[in-house]
Structure 1
Amino acid sequence: MSIMIAINADRINSLDLSPVRTVIEKWLAAGAIAQNEQQLQFEIEYPREELDPREISEIPEVRLWFIRLDACYPWLPFLLDWKAGELARYAAMLVPHQFHRTQGIQYNPEALEMFLM
């Protein structure tokens, strides 16, 4: 069963990680990190103008929030629900990339290598 963490524009703009901290700190205190492998999903609500063509991972404020999250919990990919696409979205938040209409997301190879290391 996945755990959904809702993140809104106020939390993103203030770099507030408390919704994630609440969940993770509870797991850490109970020693239950390993039992929650691949259980975490994010529901991101960030307002965009109707004609804004950017993907959520192309919005600097959202990416900055995820960079801060990664700085606090560099092992977070262990908890992300990979089957739901959370790892790919998480990588897109941290690794420079471009979107192509036919080929999809194209990560910067060197940056992707650093992310994986």
Structure 2
Amino acid sequence: MSRDLDIIFSALADPTRRAILAMLLEDDMAVTDVAAPFAMSLAAISKHLGVLTRAGLVVQERRGRVVWCKLEPDAMAKATVWIQGFGQFEPIHLDDYERFLAAERLSPPVD
């Protein structure tokens, strides 16, 4: 499992790959459509898609001459389970904390 997590987190470490995943969250896309918003070559995008595919986060399928990319959300399950293990900690709500500090400053000291 550790190796799988390493591969997934390594794939997620790159901002271009995260942007690709966000695009594929909307719908399946042809490789050329995935590449369109990026200022890089189609070959560079294909390499990013290869990393995402090897991590199991994306599935590529050839339909005629077009290669389609599809998000594989279940592949994120291992990473999600690992991250949720840290959910035992109470989140800090900064607005509540600021109100608490303001109230402390306004309260008279207790003797």
Report TM bin, short chain: under 0.3
More strand by share: 1
What is the TM-score of this pair, normalised by structure 2?
Answer: 0.25
| The structure with more radius of gyration | 2
- When normalised by structure 1's length, the TM-score is 0.24
